A and B are shown apart, each in its own frame.
Chain A
């Protein structure tokens, strides 16, 4: 079965640079979620999109922005990167309705800021 695809899998950036992470949800899933997991921490929700509209917002820094495109893929844009942004970034997707709580996660993008 098709899974959530994230690219790139690994990314190394320097402070103050920008980064773009991409997420391709499971086919026919219309909701995308972004989570950040720092070293030794639990995943923290950043932002979500349903049908290309932002549906919920968590602890996402103002330096980050995201969007969902017409093909349902999503991109997380991160600017003015800081050392503390080094983390695993997970994307998850789900379908709406009763099964909406079942989120399927991608393998993550490991971002290292030096």
Chain B
């Protein structure tokens, strides 16, 4: 299974873009990159996923490097409600949650 590495914590000012990095240097060619988040004690929430191309939805954008060894989740205008633990996952069935990044959005 591909392993992921994420910074344990990050701060972001409210209204600014939050850029959350993830390293997955051992990802295989057919593995997708998935991002989930968990707001305190709530069920994890699916955000976005991608294979090679950059992806965007109503929640976030996902930028995957050309060699697929890393990716960045971008929350374009972070709000206080985006404070959560963000998980980058490259094995999806079942989901294998690592330590994630605890994002704190500060007013």
Size bin of chain B's contact surface: 20 to 34
Q: Chain B interface secondary structure, helix, strand, loop or mixed? A: loop
Which residues of chain A are near B100, meaning CB under 8 Å?
42
Residues of B57-107 at the interface with A, using a CB-CB cut-off of 8 Å, are 87, 92-100
- A101 & B92 in contact (Cβ 8 Å cutoff): yes
- B44 & A105 in contact (Cβ 8 Å cutoff): yes
Per-position binary interface string of chain B over residues 23-65, scored 1 when its CB falls under 8 Å from any chain A CB and 0 otherwise: 0000000001010001001111110010000000000000000
* Distance, CA A41 to CA B3, complexed state (A): 18
Per-position binary interface string of chain A over residues 79-114, scored 1 when its CB falls under 8 Å from any chain B CB and 0 otherwise: 000000000101010000000111111111000000
- A103 & B95 in contact (Cβ 8 Å cutoff): yes
Instruction: Considering the complex, give the chain A residue whose CB is closest to the CB of B98.
Output: A42
- A56 & B43 in contact (Cβ 8 Å cutoff): no
| 11 A/B residue pairs, CB under 8 Å, sorted by A | A33-B94, A42-B98, A43-B38, A56-B94, A90-B43, A90-B44, A101-B49, A104-B46, A105-B43, A107-B42, A108-B41
